[in-house]
Amino acid sequence: MAGSPTAHPRIGVLALQGDFREHIASLTELGADVVPLRRPEEIASLDGVVVPGGESSVMDKLSRAFGVAEPLAAAIRGGLPTYGTCAGMIMLSSRIAAGIPGQQTLDVLDTTVRRNAFGSQNDSFEIDIPMPELGEAPVHAVFIRAPVVEEHGPGVEVLGALPDGQVVAVQQGNVIASAFHPEVAGEDRFHRRFLDLVHSA
């Protein structure tokens, strides 16, 4: 672990844009020591990081402007446990379909993710998705201008898919990503799975 391996791991939530406050609240409730991440020098003290939902192109620009993108990508490649939701999934992905010109990613998850796969804000929806890896009860998933995983490499485990087969939750080693917002639905199993990664790192 980068920080001190205690019962209260130090988690950074990228807080440049998006719904970082909801993730901070969810993780704090689960007993983590959660801090907003805005500067590159803060990364070394973290035991894990969350990249929240928001606007992926804006988050990309800000993360580069603040100098966070490259050191964060390096830390994740080095094994820092990471969880990304919605725009965070796009940020972590290696490839973007329908990205805006010049949009970049952290390139730490072997996936091709399509932005706004389900349309605009008005096309947001909720659905219960069976995810045996996270327990018997289905996961209540809230999709808001959500992406979808169009392709993934052999090292990527599918955690959840819609009834039509579209992949919406994945894990590759130390990186978990979901196209939906558990932090909005009061669903804590993804955050628990992430913290299990942190504790075993």
> Which residues are marked as active site?
86, 181, 183
Question: Quick one: three-class SS letters along 69-128?
Answer: HHHHHHHHHCCCCEEEECHHHHHHEEEEECCCCCCCCCCCEEEEEECCCCCCHHHCEEEE
55 is written with which tokens?
A: 């606007």
181: which residues sit within 8 A by CB, 6+ positions away? Answer: 19, 22, 53, 85, 86, 141, 142, 143, 144
Question: How many CA atoms are closer than 13 Å to the CA of 50, on its beta-carbon side?
Answer: 38
